[in-house]
Structure 1
C-alpha cells in the first residue's frame, strides 16, 4: 500500500464556565425557534405515574403544596405537569376545550394561577391525533373520544397559552393509530405553538412523545425542548423494574441530538414508587443524571419517604443533570460484558461525571481509566452518593459495584487535547471523499467506505472522550472487525462496547490509528472512487491514510 500523512486537527473547544451547584430553577424557558427551549433539562413533577387519568384540582394542589414544602422546589423542580385525564374531549359550539367544573373549579386558568402562585410552572397534555390515549387505553376514567388536538392545533395551543401554561406534552396514541407521519405532524404542532406565542408573548415548551417510533432524535431537536426515545417506563398497574429503567436508558442514547435546550427523554422518573428499593432509586437517578435527561418525578410527593426525598433533592446529582453544557454521557468502556463505564463532560474543563454500571448478577470491580475520560494520568475522584472524596489517583480508579446497581462519581483532572470533538465529516485527502456508511445502514458489520461528501447522518462522526468514533448520534462505533489486528482488517460499524478495537488515536500527523492494532485507517488499494472500502493497514507515508475535517 502507498501511504502518506498530513495534519488532522481535532481541537476541542471546552467551556470554561464553572458550575458549583444546581440552578435554583431548572429549565427556565427562553424563546428558540418556534417554541420555547429550556436552558437546562426541565425538572418537575408529572401526574401520570401515581394517578393515571384519575386527577382533579385537589390532587394537583396537594402535590403542588408538597413540592414546595418538601424542598423539591428549592432543589430545582419547577414544572407541574398535568398529564392525561384532565380533559375528556368536550368542546363548546365554537370548538373551544371545556372541562368538568366539578373536577376543575374555575377551569384550567384557575389551576394555572394556583401553580404560579407557588412560584412553579404549569404543564398540560394533549394528543397529536383526533383521539387521545384516554380513548384507546382508558385508565381511571371512561374512554374519551375526541380528546386529541388534531384539527384544532391553532385553537388548542393558543388556548393553553392564554390559560398561562408553560409546557405542553403532546402524546402520540391518536397519531399512531391513524398512521400519521410524526415529523410533519409535530412540525405543524411546533409551528402552531409559535403562532400562539406570537399572539400571547408567552413561551410554551414542547415535549414530543412519539415513544421513539419514528426516530425523533433525528428531527425533534429543531422543533422541541424534549422528545421521548422509548415506550413508557412503567405501564399503569405495573411495578417499576430495573430492566425497564435500563432499556429506556439505552434507548435514549443519542448524544449528537442533545445540547442546551434540546434533550433526549427516557420518560418520567419512577424514583419512590412502591416496589423500588433505596439502591434502585439511586441507580435510576444516577442514570438519568449522567444522561442529562429531564427530571420529572412521578411519585406521590406528599407521602414520600425521607430516603426518596434525599435521592430526588441531592444537590450534587441534580447539578450533574443540570450542567450547562447539556451533554449526554456516553459509554467509554466495557472491559467485561455488563460492566460498563459512562462519562459525561461537565462545564469548567477537566471535569467529568462518571457512572460505573454493573448489569450482571454478581458484585464486580469496575475500573474507571482516566484516559477513557479524556483526562491526563492524575485525577481526583469523589463518590457522589456517599459525598466522599476518594483522593487523587494515578491513571485509574477501581470500585466494586453491587449487582444491578451503579456508582456515581465525579472525576476532576487535566484535559487531554483532541477528544470529545463533534465532527461534521472526515474526508480523505487523496480522494476528497468522506468516511461513509453505505445506504445509511445501521447493521453491525457494515464496512465503512468513501463517498462524495454530503453532510448526511451516515457521514457525521463524533470523537468521544473514550476515543471512539461514533455515528448516528452515538448509536454505532467505528470498529476493527472481529478485533482484528492484521493489515487488511475491515473497518466496520458495530454496537459501541468500549473495547480497544473501537478506540482510535486521532494524531496531529493526520493519521487515525487503531488503539488495539496500531494500524492506520486506510482507503484500500489507494482507491479514490465512491465505494472504496476502508481497512486497517501498516502506517506509512501515503495520502490514502490522510484525513481532514470538513
Structure 2
C-alpha cells in the first residue's frame, strides 16, 4: 500500500510538471490546486497570543523570522489566526479588519510580509461565526475569497465553529450542522476562482473522518482537536495521527496542529515534538513568541537535517514498527532511498532502545554524529532521530 501511494504521488508530480496545471477543481486527487508539494512551514499567532493579534505583532514576527534564520530554513508563512476581524461586516456585507488592531488593513500587512520574502496567511470559518465570535464565511465564500486574494493573502486557515443555526463553538445540541464537505467545498472553489495561489488549510479538528476525504478539498487538514502546551496533549495528538499516513502525501497533508515548541514543555519534549512531526510529514507551523524565542528554541526549529526529513519530496509518513510498553520505533522511507528512524520513549522513565536497520551509515540528526547502528538510552518523553544511508 505504501508503495502504491508513493507511485501515485510521483504520477501527480509528473502530471503537474508536464501539463503546468493542477487537476480540475473538485478532483478527489491530492494536488487539485498545485500547492503544498511538501508540508507548509511557517508561524501562527494563536498558541501564544489567542485572539490578541495585531498588525504590529505580525510585522514584528515577520522580522524575527528573517533575523532568526527561520525564513531561510523554510518557514515562509506568517499566519494570522482568529481575532483580526471587526465585530461586524461593513455596509456592503464585506469582511473588514478591526480598525484598532489593523489600522492600515490586511493588505498593508501583506505588503510588509511579502517585502521580507515571506507569505501571509489569514483565518476564517466555515460556519456562521468564527470560534471567537467574529463573522464567519458561511454564505459569503465568493466575496470573502475575492477579498483575501485582493489583499494578497497566500494561505487560508478555515475553522469549523458555528456550523449551522443553533450551533455553538463546538456542538450543535440545539441545531443541525451542515456536513463539513458541503461547507468546505464552496470556499475551496471560491479560492480557486480568484486565480491567486492560496494554500487551503481545513480545520475541522478531524471530525467526520476528515482525513478520508479532505484531499479533494484542502492542502492540509487537522486530524485532532486543538493541541495544548503539555506533553500529554502532544502525545495524544501524535497517537491519533500516526495511523492516518495512508491518506496524506504531496499536495495534501495530515495536520496534527501547530507546534507548541517554546511554550512550556521541557526541552526534551520540545525536541520530541519536532522529531515526531517531521516523521509524520506534518506541517511545521510554529506557535510561540518568536521575537523572544531562546537560541535553543530557534535551534530546534532550524535543524536542517530534521527539516529535510519533514520536507522529503516522497511525502510518505512514518509507520510504527513497534510500540511495546510505550517504546515506539518509527520508520519513514525517503525519496533518495534513505530511511528515517525514530526511537520515541513515551514513558516516564529512561529506557534503552534499539532497532535493526540496513547496513550503511547512520547519522543522529540532532547531534550530527555517525554510528554503525540505531540504539541509545532514550530519556523519558525523549526521541532519537536518525537517517540511515544504506550501503550500495
Partner residue, 2:166: none
Structure 1: gaps spanning 5 or more residues: 1-9, 18-29, 136-143, 235-239, 416-550
Q: 1:381 aligns with which of 351, 359, 362?
A: 362
Return the offset for 1:64. 0.8
CA distance in 1, matches of 2:57, 2:5: 49
How do 1:11-50 residues align onto structure 2 when only pairs under 5 Å count?
A: 31=22, 33-34=24-25, 35-50=33-48
SS of 1:134's partner is coil
Return the offset for 1:46. 0.3
Q: Is the 8 A contact 2:87 2:98 kept in 1?
A: no
How do 1:51-450 residues align onto structure 2 when only pairs under 5 Å count?
A: 51-135=49-133, 144=134, 147-175=135-163, 177=172, 178-197=176-195, 202-234=196-228, 240-253=229-242, 254-273=244-263, 275-334=264-323, 336-349=324-337, 351-370=338-357, 375=358, 378-391=359-372, 393=373, 397-413=374-390
Q: Is the 8 A contact 1:33 1:223 kept in 2?
A: no
Q: Is the 8 A contact 1:285 1:311 kept in 2?
A: yes
TM score, norm. by length of structure 1? 0.63
Q: Is the 8 A contact 2:205 2:226 kept in 1?
A: yes
CA distance in 2, matches of 1:50, 1:345: 34
RMSD: 2.0
For residues 13 and 258 of structure 1, do their structure 2 counterparts lie closer, same or farther at Cα, with a shift above 3 Å needed?
closer
Structure 2: gaps spanning 5 or more residues: 11-20, 26-32, 164-170
| 1:488-511 Cα shifts (integer Å, max 9, x gaps) | xxxxxxxxxxxxxxxxxxxxxxxx
| 1:33-78 Cα shifts (integer Å, max 9, x gaps) | 4345211100000010111111111111111111111110011000
CA distance in 2, matches of 1:269, 1:165: 22
SS of 2:232's partner is helix
CA distance in 2, matches of 1:11, 1:212: 24
| 1:464-496 Cα shifts (integer Å, max 9, x gaps) | xxxxxxxxxxxxxxxxxxxxxxxxxxxxxxxxx
| 1:169-217 Cα shifts (integer Å, max 9, x gaps) | 00001225452201222122212222222xxxx1111100000111111
For residues 380 and 14 of structure 1, do their structure 2 counterparts lie closer, same or farther at Cα, with a shift above 3 Å needed?
farther
Return the offset for 1:32. 5.5
CA distance in 1, matches of 2:289, 2:101: 19
CA distance in 2, matches of 1:171, 1:223: 13
TM score, norm. by length of structure 2? 0.88
Which 4+ residue blocks in structure 1 deviate beyond 6 angstroms? 10-15
Return the offset for 1:105. 2.4
SS of 2:349's partner is coil
Higher-Rg member (1/2): 1
| Residues matched between the structures, number | 361
Structure (1 or 2) with the greater strand fraction: 1
Structure (1 or 2) with the greater helix fraction: 2
SS of 2:35's partner is strand
Q: Is the 8 A contact 1:89 1:97 kept in 2?
A: no
Q: Is the 8 A contact 2:223 2:255 kept in 1?
A: yes
CA distance in 1, matches of 2:362, 2:391: 13
CA distance in 2, matches of 1:36, 1:116: 21
CA distance in 2, matches of 1:149, 1:32: 26
Q: Is the 8 A contact 1:172 1:209 kept in 2?
A: yes
CA distance in 1, matches of 2:346, 2:296: 23
| 1:342-364 Cα shifts (integer Å, max 9, x gaps) | 01111111x11111011122211
